[in-house]
Amino acid sequence: MATKSIAVVLGTRPEIIKLAPVIRELGERAWVIHTGQHYDAKMSGQFFEQFGIGAPDVILEGIGGANRGTQISAALQALTDLFLKNRPSAVIVQGDTNAVSAGAQAANYLGIPLIHVEAGLRSYDRAMPEELNRLVVGALADVHCAATDLNARNLLGEGVDPARVIVTGNTVVEATLASLEQGDGMIGRHFPSGIAPEKFVLATIHRPENTDSPDALERVLRGLTAIELPVVLLTHPRTRLAAERFGLTDFFDELHAIESVGHSELLDLAQAATLLVSDSGGLQEETTVLGKPLLVVRRSTERPEAVDAGFARLITPDKNIAREAAEVLENNGFGTDLRTAQSPYGDGTASRTIATIAAHIDNGHAPAQAIALVEASHDLAA
């Protein structure tokens, strides 16, 4: 087994969370490269430590805080240089960030097999930067690890070779379960009195469609302040800066606004909350493990599985957030017992499956052969 032979490229905290189980499964084969898109020692560093995967092997410089085009081009150049000096047997990327686009291009242009984790998500909204990143990596990947059957159908509908697509489930399941085990449940420390309300709403807002214009941000903040229960708002730096820029910080005084927290603390708060309100992609998946109702504040979602399974409802700009929240609270959810509902994102074995595919490629098998070997082993186990 080669050491540091499989490059894992990531650039944001959600990628760390979802790729940590894969990195653990890869063991000594994993060569972890952080593009620096969202790197800071306090937040990203604590996630690496929390998930027991150590610090990244490489952290690129000069990328965090730059505009999208600069981030992708700078990361692409830096990754290309790295791969030319130390060619990996495969490159793994996850999701739809700028780091994914750069990592996918660097691998493909050098002829290195590319494995895309969480492949096949589609919002069909090209105004979303993430959708463009998904389309780029969808065109370049050699192995498409789709989280659900719907994701796989999206890829097949775009003409992707079926031999290169495998439904693995989503690594968010095992990541969420691992974080819940590490949580201490002491959520009172997030409240001035030291005691959490019996019922409260947890909100997270950070996407450009909700923060990059004063009208959009005011609509969301005004809607949150009108909810009848106390609202805990985790303030993403983008959201706080936008509120300051647009003169909307007074809304924070009507909410219980706190700084972003670690993954275990987030899940502890979410598990204790009565209702979740968010534009986060990750929370749309995590709520299916937590069994909590979620209002998704977005124009569209690339994760309709959570909606279809009864865990989430899409709140488009034409809908009243407070009114929708009141309805959910009055009905104790969406009419389904979410505590016993099954997550559409698998059984917690996705990371092992993905790492096994990568290991087969590292051992000399072609991408389609690696998938076939894994599927054959699954058939034998069944």
- List, for residues 313-340, the tens digit of each pLDDT value: 999 999 999 999 999 999 888 877 888 8
CATH 3.40.50.2000 maps onto the chain at 6-171+348-381, 179-330
Q: How far apart are CA 247 and CA 178, in angstroms?
A: 39
CATH T-level assignment (fold) for domain 6-171+348-381: Rossmann fold (3.40.50)
At 118 the pLDDT is: 97
Residue found by looking up tokens 């692409």 in the block: 76
Q: How far apart are CA 39 and CA 269, in angstroms?
A: 24
Q: How far apart are CA 125 and CA 129, in angstroms?
A: 9
Q: In this structure, what DSSP letter does residue 164 have?
A: G
Q: In this structure, what DSSP letter does residue 119 have?
A: E
Residue found by looking up tokens 């009905």 in the block: 331
CATH of 179-330, one of 3.40.640.10, 3.40.50.12280, 3.40.50.2000, 3.40.1190.20: 3.40.50.2000
pTM over 0.75: yes
Report whether 374 contacts 367 (CB < 8 A).
no
Whether the pLDDT of residue 358 is over 90: the answer is yes
Strand order in the sheet with 58-59: 58-59, 30-34, 6-10, 90-94, 114-119, 143-146, 165-167
At 183 the pLDDT is: 86
At 284 the pLDDT is: 95
Catalytically annotated residue among 206, 236, 263, 360: 206
What integer best gives the mean pLDDT of the chain? Answer: 93
Mean pLDDT calculated for residue range 129-158:
97
Determine how many CB atoms are found less than 10 A away from the CB of residue 124.
9
Report whether 167 contacts 132 (CB < 8 A).
no
At 49 the pLDDT is: 73
Cα 297 to Cα 37, 87, 201, 317, 324: the distances in Å are: 24, 42, 14, 8, 11
At 38 the pLDDT is: 67
Strand partners, 58: 33
Whether the pLDDT of residue 353 is over 80: the answer is yes
Mean pLDDT calculated for residue range 295-302:
94
Q: How far apart are CA 217 and CA 375, in angstroms?
A: 46
Q: How confident is the model at residue 381 (pLDDT cuts 50, 70, 90)?
A: low
Mean pLDDT calculated for residue range 289-305:
95
Q: Is-catalytic flag, 206?
A: yes
Of residues 41 and 165, more confidently modeled: 165
At 67 the pLDDT is: 86
Which of 40-54, 126-140, 257-271, 342-356 is least confident? 40-54
At 292 the pLDDT is: 95
Q: Cβ-count burial of 339 within 10 angstroms (0-12 exposed, 13-18 middle, 19+ buried)?
A: exposed
Which of 65-69, 138-142, 254-258 is least confident? 65-69
Whether the pLDDT of residue 44 is over 70: the answer is no
Whether the pLDDT of residue 363 is over 60: the answer is yes
Mean pLDDT calculated for residue range 302-315:
94
